[in-house]
A and B are shown apart, each in its own frame.
Chain A
Amino acid sequence: MADIEQLNGDAQSRIGAAEDLAALEALRVEFLGKQGSVSALLKTLGKMTPEERQEQGPKIHALREGVQAALTARKEALENAALESQLAAETLDLSLPAPGMPQGSIHPVSQVMDELAEIFADLGFAVATGPEIEDDWYNFTALNMPESHPARAMHDTFYFPDQAPKGGKMLLRTHTSPVQVRTMLEDGAPLRIIAPGRVYRSDSDATHTPMFHQIEGLVIDKGIHLGHLKWTLETFLKAFFEREDIVLRLRPSYFPFTEPSVEVDVGFAIENGQDGKGRRVLGGSGDEPGHGWMELLGSGMVNSRVIEMSGLDPDQCQGFAFGVGVDRLAMLKYGMDDLRAFFDGDVRWLRHYGFSAFDQPTLSAGVGARA
């Protein structure tokens, strides 16, 4: 049957040459459709004798399968070609910029306060707060600064015309120390707290702003002494600056609310930054060559009068307190050099010195965020 071979050759070559899916479909109909030539051949099988059928049957079926396979293969090839040309047409210039996502930031003061809360939580200190618009009694009198006390003059206090309930005028707290009194009155002893927050002095120059941030520390318990204060400050500074070589120097000083009172200096070295400018980097003893001491904070053993005025019995408990500038700690750790920029809201500064929302200080990851 030359017919079959001829038909097969014709079908295979025309299917292989079909240019698109429509042409391919037309060929399918021509060969395999109800009126198709291959279908017609298949129909002839019914009229054949068994012998003829035995001989022709396999050939005709092979023809149909061959044509079917050619159609499938050609269809796949055409579809692949179509997809490829579609994909080629869809090519993007991915060097074009993608839509920007705004980058937020956490202010260094907030970041450092979170760091400190984390460090002190590990030492068992809770975070306490108090009002910023304070009563004269809490800000001064209860801290052993009665009205005529000369130390009051050193506080550059902002006053309101409003009379305070316990005498004197309402004022802006000049330190976070009133929180000591409030917390002792409220919670009694024993006590371990830090109290961060805004404080105010009517002072403004290159290194002072009328508003700044302080963090107060207070421990009230039995048997607490200056050695515990020193250890606590060393531990906190080592954790905060993430270096073991922090060296403190204690100097006697005077604060009405502590006795004995201690000014704390910390040793530093001058290191050259990338900009070639010398920068004070904490670490080492200030007495080493090339080193110095800088005043860092005021502290001392809580004055027994303050403990008494805070409703506790000084014969039963004693403790220490300290106050340190948060902005100052931030500057020393993260290298800002202008305090005034902290409160300007310059978005360029906020982005440069700010922190990612995901730099949440944790003890396991280290409380600091490295540059």
Chain B
Amino acid sequence: MKFSLEWLKYYLETEASAEEISAKLNAIGIEVEGLEDPAESLAGFTIARVLTAKPHPDADRLQVLTVDTGTGDALQVVCGAPNARAGLVGVLGSPGATVPANGMQLRKSEIRGVESNGMMCSSRELELGDDHEGIIELPEDAPVGTGFAEYSASTPIFDVAITPNRPDCMGVMGIARDLAAAGLGTFKPVEVPEIVGAFPCPMEIRTDDPEGCPAFYGRVIRGVKNGPSPEWMQRRLIAAGQRPISALVDATNYLMLACGRPAHAYDLAKLSGAVVARRAKDGEEVAALNEKTYSLDSDMTVIADERQVHDIAGIMGGEDSGVTEGTTDVLLEIAYFDPASIGTTGRRLGLASDARTRFERGVDPAFLDDGLALLTDLIQQCCGGEASEAVRAGSPPMDAKSVAYDPALAANLGGVAIPEDEQRRILAALDFEVSSDWQVTVPLRRHDVEGPADIVEEVVRIHGLDSVLSAPLPRMEGVARPTATPAQKLERKVRRAAAAAGLNEAVTWSFISEKEAAAVGGGHWVLDNPISEDLKVMRPSLLPGLLSAARRNLDRGASSLRLFEIGRRYLAEGEHPSLAFVLVGDRLPRDWQSGKAQAFDAYDAKALCLSLLEAAGAPVGNLMIMGEAGDFYHPGQSATLRLGPKNQLASFGAIHPRTLEAFDIDVPVVAGGIHLDAIPAKKGGGFARTAYAPPALQSVTRDFAFLVDADVPAGDLLRAVKNSDKANIVDARIFDLFQGQGVPEGKKSLAIEVTLQPGEKSYTDEELKAIADKVVAAAAKQGAELRG
């Protein structure tokens, strides 16, 4: 909200400077977003009289003027305005001045060969209005040579943000009251004139919707002459960013901006029959003042006559009954609308207005009669006319809230001890009534104040939050205890393990496009109001986001990427913390030592999954390699790691070529995903490890070579071998895999090194033979045959 210092001073007697006022506004919770001094922005613009105007020799639409700026020397200025003529008094921008509307700095120039020493300005260029048809025309007696800022009595303009709890500060007067309470001057409330009706109100006013419109006051003014509003009013409205329209409209706007009190004026000639606040009929339409037509429903309150709806109550007036230049008789409406239903109606219609903003936050229910009298007076000042008696239908909610307050709360909740006298003074200045035993009666305009904490806020903010002193939180006994949960610790470990393994952590959007979601089987959570189609579906997998990031990197020339992310997958039944990674392009670049570049393969993804699971404390030795990694992956180069058929910890593999195509990637990509919440928590909470002493005797190794059907998983054979004698075999590794010459078609040769750990005594030959027999027997069960 904007207002000028001049307007503020109408309600606040103060010697404070604009800067002091600005600082105080911030200090009491009215945030100043801008403080503009037109005296600065209008520097370099002076009042000038056009002496002569001749056509430009080389341009049809331009004129060459000579102007008098009071210095005695006539200046030559080229001007394109059609109204530029000899004798006109206007505003000249001199070289060096900056045009407020567009920031352009004026300079001496040549326009089509003719020297120009500045610019005669339009209203729009000086941000005084919308007019850009011609240059400003000032009265003939305007003092030539005087600075325009001085002439227009411009004053600093504040732009403040009013928080939604303070509709009472959505008028200049409310702001003045707060400032006065904070010691910045004396509050001068507006003087409400007494209006004596000259005749009974000829219009019947009713409220048939006491819920939505508890009170509807009004009166008729006959014989008004609508036209431009007076200059003082226009100046204040312009400073507030409101375009002057006509005296009748300006007067209602002025009341709203001055007192936070929206009102409406109807052209009486366009009304027929009683004017009633009622619920709209479903499907009923109204053409509003913004030139749009709205379809209403029966939850919405409207003001209507017997023919049609004339006003979406408290939000926007109707076009058909709006005042015009020719309006002579008006009906004024000052009503109290239910804030909640105004909010609902406004949201449902998608219609914002200054009136709605105030009504839905709550206007002062005690200000209906005063508002009506002020508006009547303003209109009569501007347009003359004869006022009827006021009529009042219904009554606003006038139950004042009363709060039992304890002044000790200022210290106990607000953190600053404020003497009781000072608390009383502050509350009184804000129109709170305080009884001797601290029962506080809240002014009706303060809908936001409901309990003792609100009173604390009032007292503390006016007293000044600067006085709140830091008070250490009581320290917990003893040393700091660990506060992270097992899940948080696991996440931290895995994150740092992945980075230590050479991966770069990315953070990508939680939402992806429908197409990307479809590539991983579709997502359940689809936004109603996405910010773009690319950010629409909550990701069911982290991989699409990483693949898109990979593509962006490849587009920028990267040839090798290792990216990972830790975040949530969003499934129908819940959110799951997960890690995913992509290994893109080259594992090794071409190199003087290793030759050609080597691409990542599925084993890289497997190794990474296992090392991350290991870091996470998963029982890696018990994991089973199974299928069903998903259509996203290459069907022959992907797998899952599970602790049981239903307990999947990870999936990994090469990305399916079709998936890569969908993501516009033309290099091989392998990837993996770990379900962090599927990793079983470690049992037991102690620090002690199981007892262990390194064996005294050295381990021995034995090699076995087996022939097995080519489609038997090597891992199955390895597991069988390793488990064939758990008492002696501590490890088994495949060290050779061979197919080709010497190996029958459809078979493969697998060479396994078995590590044996003797206990107290070294193995005898018989013992070694017995172990070897067990190994061979176990391998045979997998269809493997010892090679001769």
Give A residues with C-beta under 8 Å from B. Answer: 96-97, 99-107, 109-110, 114, 117, 120-127, 129, 131-133, 148-151, 153-154, 158-162, 169-170, 172, 192, 198, 200, 202-204, 210-211, 219, 223-232, 234-235, 249-254, 259-263, 301, 303-304, 318, 342-348, 350-351, 354-358, 360
Q: A260-B457, A354-B504 are in contact. Are A150 and B361 (CB under 8 A)?
A: yes
Least CB separation from A96: chain B residue: B592
Partner of A347, one of B466, B476, B525, B563: B563
Instruction: Decide if B500 touches A304 in the complex (CB within 8 Å).
Output: no
Contact A114 B343 (CB under 8 A): no
Are B416 and A227 in touch, CB under 8 angstroms?
yes
A343 x B495 contact (CB < 8 A): no
The A/B interface has a contact count, at CB < 8 Å, of 259
Q: A121-B482, A344-B552 are in contact. Are A252 and B29 (CB under 8 A)?
A: yes
B502 in contact with A110 (CB, 8 Å): no
Are A117 and B546 in contact (CB-based, < 8 A)? no
Given contacts A253-B31, A345-B552, contact A132 B473 (CB under 8 A): no
Given contacts A121-B482, A358-B500, contact A226 B413 (CB under 8 A): yes
CB pair A357–B496 under 8 Å, yes or no, is yes
Closest to B476 in A: A124
The answer on a CB contact under 8 Å between B526 and A161 is yes
Kindly list chain B residues whose C-beta atoms are within 8 Å of the C-beta of A358. Answer: 496, 500
Interface string of B668-698 (1 = CB under 8 A from A): 0000000000000000000000000000000
Q: Which of B452-503 contact A (CB under 8 A)?
A: 453-454, 456-457, 460-461, 465-466, 468-473, 475-476, 480-485, 488, 492, 495-503
Contacts of A102 in B (CB 8 A): 501-503, 562
What are the residues of chain A within 8 A of B483 when measuring CB–CB?
A: 117, 120-121, 124-127
Pairwise interchain contact A234-B415, C-beta atoms closer than 8 A: no
A residues less than 8 Å from B530 (CB atoms): 158, 202
Q: Which residues of B contact A210 (CB under 8 A)?
A: 509, 511, 531, 535
* Contact yes or no, B529 A159, CB < 8 A: yes
Stretch of B147-155, B159-167, B183-191, B306-314 at the chain-chain interface? B159-167
The 3 residue pairs across chains A and B that have the minimum distance between CB atoms: A345-B549, A102-B502, A252-B29
Q: Complex formed: what's the CA distance from A231 to B339 in Å?
A: 38
The answer to whether B465 touches A262 (Cβ under 8 A) is yes
Q: Which residues of B contact A121 (CB under 8 A)?
A: 480, 482-484
Point out the residues of chain A lying under 8 angstroms from B453, CB to CB.
259-260, 301, 303-304
Q: In angstroms, how far is the closest chain B Cβ from the Cβ of A256?
A: 8
User: What sequence of 0s and 1s flags, for each residue 338-351 of chain B, a beta carbon within 8 Å of any chain A beta carbon?
Assistant: 01110110010000
Contact of B163 among A153, A249, A254 (CB under 8 A): A254
Task: Given A102-B562, A132-B568, A350-B505, answer yes or no on A253-B527 (Cβ-Cβ < 8 Å).
Answer: no
CB of B469 within 8 A of CB of A133, answer: no
Q: Separation in Å of the B549 CB from the closest CB of chain A?
A: 3
Query: Would B506 and A107 count as touching, CB distance under 8 A?
Result: yes
Interface pair B525/A133, CB less than 8 Å apart: yes
Determine which of B26, B357, B411, B510 lies in contact with A200 in the assembled complex, contact meaning CB atoms within 8 Å: B510
Provide the residues of chain A in CB contact with B165, threshold 8 Å. Answer: 254
Q: A131-B575, A210-B535, A225-B471 are in contact. Are A103 and B502 (CB under 8 A)?
A: yes
Asked if B593 CB lies within 8 Å of chain A CBs, one says yes
Does B360 lie at the interface of the complex (its beta carbon under 8 Å from any beta carbon of A)? yes
Q: Are B506 and A350 in contact (CB under 8 A)?
A: yes
Output the least CB separation between B595 and chain A (Å). Answer: 12
Asked if A227 meets B471 with Cβ closer than 8 Å, knowing A154-B164, A211-B511, the reply is yes
B53 interface residue per 8 A CB criterion: no
Q: Is the CB of A159 within 8 A of B451?
A: no
13 extra interface residue pairs, beta carbon distance < 8 Å, beyond A104-B501, A223-B412: A104-B498, A131-B574, A131-B575, A150-B361, A198-B568, A226-B414, A234-B470, A249-B466, A250-B465, A250-B466, A252-B29, A345-B549, A360-B496
Interchain CB contact (< 8 A) of A228 among B166, B466, B471, B567: B471
Q: Tell yes or no: B777 within 8 A of A by CB.
A: no
| CB proximity of A189 to chain B, nearest CB, Å | 14
Report Cα–Cα, A301/B357, bound state, in Å.
26
Q: Which residues of A contact B164 (CB under 8 A)?
A: 149-151, 154, 254
Q: Does B528 contact A (CB under 8 A)?
A: yes
A347 touches B561 (CB 8 A): yes
**Chain B: interface residue total (CB-CB under 8 A):** 100
Q: How far is the CA of A106 from the CA of B413 in the complex (A)?
A: 41
- Measured in the bound complex, the distance between the Cα atoms of B558 and A351 in whole Å is 13
A-B contacts, 14 of them at CB < 8 A, read A110-B507, A122-B480, A159-B529, A169-B528, A172-B510, A202-B531, A226-B468, A227-B471, A228-B471, A228-B473, A230-B469, A259-B451, A345-B550, A347-B504
Query: Do most interface residues of chain A lie in helix, strand or loop, or is the interface mixed?
Result: mixed
Quick check: B591 and A251 within 8 Å, CB to CB?
no
Contact B470 A106 (CB under 8 A): no
Once A106-B499, A303-B453, A345-B563 are accepted as A-B contacts, the answer to whether A252 and B507 lie under 8 Å apart by CB is: no
Q: Mark B515-534, 1 if CB is under 8 A from A, else 0.
A: 00000000001111111000
Known contacts A121-B482, A202-B529; is A148 also within 8 Å of B575 by CB?
no
Does B625 sit within 8 A of A, measured CB to CB? no
Indicate if the CB atoms of B496 and A251 lie closer than 8 Å.
Answer: no
Known: A121-B482, A125-B483, A357-B496. A259 touches B454 (CB 8 A): yes
Residues of B within 8 Å of A154, CB to CB, are 164
> Contact mask B534-561 → A, CB, 8 Å, 1/0?
0100100000011011101100101001
B242 close to A (CB within 8 Å): no
By beta carbon, the residue of chain A nearest B572 is A162
Q: Is the CB of A252 within 8 A of B465?
A: yes
Tell me whether B414 and A230 are in contact (CB under 8 A): no
- Whether A253 contacts B507 by the Cβ 8 Å rule is no
On chain A, the residues within 8 Å of B538 by CB distance are 133
A254 touches B28 (CB 8 A): no
B504, B561, B563, B594: most-surrounded residue (chain A CB, <10 A): B504
Residues of chain A within 8 A of B510, CB atoms compared: 132, 172, 198, 200, 211
| A158:B527 contact, CB within 8 angstroms | yes
Candidate in B470, B501, B558, B591 with the most chain A CB atoms within 10 angstroms = B470
For A104, give its contact among B360, B484, B504 (CB under 8 Å): B504
Contacts of B414 in A (CB 8 A): 225-226, 260, 301
In the complex with contacts A99-B591, A148-B339, A227-B469, A211-B509 CB distance below 8 A? yes
How far is the CB of B339 from the nearest CB of chain A, in Å?
7
Most chain A CB neighbours (cut-off 10 Å) among B414, B415, B567: B415
A219 touches B473 (CB 8 A): yes
A132 to B563, CA, bound (A): 24
> What's the Cα separation between A121 and B483 when bound, in Å?
6
Say yes or no: A160 contacts B527, CB within 8 Å: yes
B570 within 8 A of A: yes
For B505, the chain A residues whose CB sits under 8 A away are: 104-107, 110, 350, 354
CB pair A109–B461 under 8 Å, yes or no, is no
Evaluate whether A160 and B415 lie within 8 angstroms (CB atoms) in the complex, with A106-B499, A259-B454, A261-B457 already known: no
Residue among A106, A126, A129, A232 with most chain B CB within 10 A: A106
- Closest residue on chain B to residue A345 by CB atoms: B549
**Contact residues in B for A120 (Cβ distance below 8 Å):** 483
- Let me know if A105 and B339 touch, CB within 8 A: no
Contacts of B659 in A (CB 8 A): none
Tell whether, in the assembled complex, residue A356 and residue B499 are in contact, meaning their CB atoms are under 8 Å apart.
yes
Question: Which residues from chain A contact B472 at a C-beta distance below 8 Å?
Answer: 228, 231, 235
B27 adjacent to chain A (CB < 8 Å)? yes
Among residues 304 to 362 in chain B, which have CB atoms less than 8 Å away from a CB atom of chain A? 339-341, 343-344, 347, 357, 360-361
Question: What is the distance, in angstroms, from A320's C-beta to the closest C-beta of chain B?
Answer: 10
Smallest beta-carbon distance B343→chain A, Å: 4
Given contacts A104-B498, A347-B558, is CB(A225)–CB(B339) below 8 Å? no
- B782 close to A (CB within 8 Å): no
| Residue-wise interface mask of B (9-28) relative to A, using a CB-CB cutoff of 8 A (1 in contact, 0 not) | 00000000000000000111
Query: Do A357 and B528 touch (CB < 8 A)?
Result: no
Chain B residues near A252 (CB, 8 Å)? 27-29, 457, 460-461, 465
The CA of A121 and the CA of B476, in the complex, are separated in Å by: 10
